[in-house]
Structure 1
Amino acid sequence: MRILVVGGSGLIGAHVVDVLRERGHAATTVARTAHPGIDHLLDLQAASVDDLRPLLAGHDGVVYATRSEEQRPLPKPIHPVFRRDMVEPVVRLFDAARQEGLTRGVIMGSYYTYFERLHPQWRLADRHTYVRCRVEQAREGRAAAGPDLPVAVLELPFVFGRAGDRLPNWAGPLDRWARSRTPLVVPGGGSAGASARSVAEIAVDALERASGDDIPVADENLTWEDMISRIAEAVGRRRRVRRLPPGAVRAALRLGGALQSLGGKESGVNPSHAADLFLTELFVEPTTGRSVDPALRETFADPAPPA
């Protein structure tokens, strides 16, 4: 196969490229900014279908692996902004891929769509703009692709690992917290986790099978207490992690949501409803059974000393 990887300079995209090449496939990389190994520079948000078609020509498949920032507060209303950043580029990409006759695709999505399917009573898409746009991204991207271009959506949890200097976007704050003298206190829930390498292998499996499935991904399910304990150990600051009372979590997040609203802003995950997520064990079954510890240690390795 010959696969175009959009977001090929990112953590997950770089691992997808590695796995494709290890299995004897050809990979072409596209990114917004220049990095070693990137074949084409393109801002997907500004690219038209006509811009995309020449890049896709001659490929068998395409992987959408750019990341989204759901927590940054933005002026209301944020849904048009999130659609412009997350949904519309995917629609144009897969419209162009269909016109060029590609036969397989992968979207790197979010495990929130898995829980939206599994627990519709939680009303995640109604309460959180980020989740709503992830649902729209999958639905509208597949509609643009049409029946002859199956698109698998990988529903991703916390993804650990490193690709050169590329890390998960949440790694920096957690690293600084774990290295500090600030007490480690967490809610009572938890999350699934996976390594970037596992995600890449599952993505390439989906491409090889020309899968059009929703694929929830998890190597391990971790309570927040377990996750933060492992991060603290990885940075050499092993210590006790305490659990916050649920009432305190709810009160703090509702206050944050009220302050955001007073300031005329919103974030993709609504703080007023976020306690329902953080206090829940957002676990995915089945898991691969692989340990996330090697990728977690890689994520939180000591910084290289200055040259």
Structure 2
Amino acid sequence: MGGSGLIGAHVVDALRERGHTVTTVARTARAGVDHVLDVGSASVDELRPLLAGQDGVVYAARTDEQRPVRKPIYPVFRRDIVEPVARLFTAARHEGLTRGVIMGSYYTYFDRLHPQWRLAARHTYIRCRVEQAREGRAAAGPDLPVAVLELPFVFGRAGERLPNWAGPLDRWARSRTPLLVPAGGSAATSARSVAEVAVDALERARGADLPVADENLTWHDMMARIAEAVGRRRRVGRLPAGAARAALRGGGALQALGRRESGVNLTHLADLLLAELFVEPASGRSLDQALHETFTDMASTQDRVPPST
């Protein structure tokens, strides 16, 4: 499910390379999509025929956690993130599937690791990711183990499919605007690495939480490597923590005035940006190829490629 997106396309390739037969489902018709269905709204009865005769299922659809939504936002994010997974794995259980994978978020990893950060309480998106894993597994039942891949920044390309956040970073790196980033950083991985972890989880019928990372990068290092990938190697400066906090809190205040909010609450987003959101152990696999795939010649495609799903 979500087979037309960046990660879904790599999972399909990796499965076929290992000799598996794959059926793809996506909400938009395109080359390589076997069935067109909006999984976000599909009922259990609509899903069951697509799952009949399959051994496992991968859920790779995504939600934009930064899009502002009119309050109350929890019902919207729950409808988009939690409920489709619960229906999918209910259908999978009825059809006798024996393994599954959910493409999740590394925020759930940090919610477990640092309960004092209160991430699920502060951020609706993270709360719904926690509920997605819990309710998806509950719907699947004990005979259908479900692995949750906890994903950080994912670099790479599948044809013309790119990470949905790559466009703004590409334009920033190519612009004359100073590259100023806060302290802190993030784990990062490639779409190919995600696909290999997913296929391994399917083949071994793992039901674990699996944080995925190839490298842990400071924001400085990440932006410097993006600038190099687009051919504009230049200095990356430090944005003071106070400036980052003030800008994000100001954005949160403006959203509140319009009775809107993002899935990751801008008021508390600075706490995440200034932290080192590193996953240990990282695989150590270099991200150079995935970085260049993401940003090299991107200017020719970014205006006509829809966001990955």
1:177 is aligned to 2:177: no
Alignment of 1:261 with 2:259, yes or no, is no
Secondary structure of the residue that 1:84 maps to in structure 2?
helix
1:46, CA displacement in angstroms? 1.8
Q: Given residue 108 of structure 2, which amino acid in structure 1 is its aligned partner?
A: T
SS in 2 for 1:26: coil
**Does 1:238 find its partner at 2:247?**
no
Question: Matches of residues 13-92 of structure 1 in structure 2 within 5 Å?
Answer: 13-92=8-87
Displacement of 1:205 = 0.3
Residues 225-270 of structure 1 show CA distances to partners (whole Å, capped at 9, x for unaligned) of: 0000000000011100001111111111111111111110000000
Question: Aligned-pair distance for 1:303?
Answer: 3.8
| Matched letter for residue 98 of structure 2 | T
Classify 1:38/1:250 alpha carbon distance in 2 versus 1 (closer, same or farther; 3 Å).
Answer: same
Task: State the AA in 2 paired with 1:246.
Answer: A
Structure 1 equivalent of residue 148 of structure 2? 153
Amino acid at match of 2:296: A
Pair 1:251-2:228 in alignment:
no
Corresponding residue to 2:297 among 294, 297, 302: 302
| More contact order relative to length (CA 8 Å, sep ≥ 6) | 2
Aligned residues: 301
Residue number among 157, 161, 168 corresponding to 2:163 in the alignment: 168
Distance 1:84 1:179, change over 3 A: same
Cα distance in 2 for partners of 1:45, 1:27 equals 21
SS in 1 for 2:248: helix
Instruction: Give the structure 1 partner of residue 304 of structure 2.
Output: none
With normalisation by structure 1, the TM-score equals 0.97
Matched-pair contact (CA < 8 Å) for 2:170–2:298: no
Aligned-partner SS, 2:221: helix
- Whether 2:180 is the aligned partner of 1:188: answer no
In 1, distance between residues paired with 2:233 and 2:258? 38
- Unaligned stretches of 5+ in structure 1? 1-5
Q: CA deviation at 1:293?
A: 1.1
Q: Are 1:224 and 2:236 an aligned pair?
A: no
**Alpha-carbon distance change, 305 to 166 in structure 1, aligned in 2, over 3 angstroms:** closer
1:305–1:259 distance in 2 versus 1, CA, 3 Å: closer
TM-score, normalization: structure 2?
A: 0.96
Alpha carbons of structure 1 residues 231 and 304: separation in structure 2 relative to 1, 3 Å: closer
Find 1:215's aligned residue among 207, 210, 213.
210
How far is 1:25 from its partner? 0.6
What amino acid is aligned across from residue 141 of structure 1 in structure 2?
A: G
- In 1, the alpha carbon distance for the partners of 2:116 and 2:124 equals 16
Give the counterpart letter for 2:3 in structure 1.
G
Q: Which amino acid aligns with 1:113?
A: T
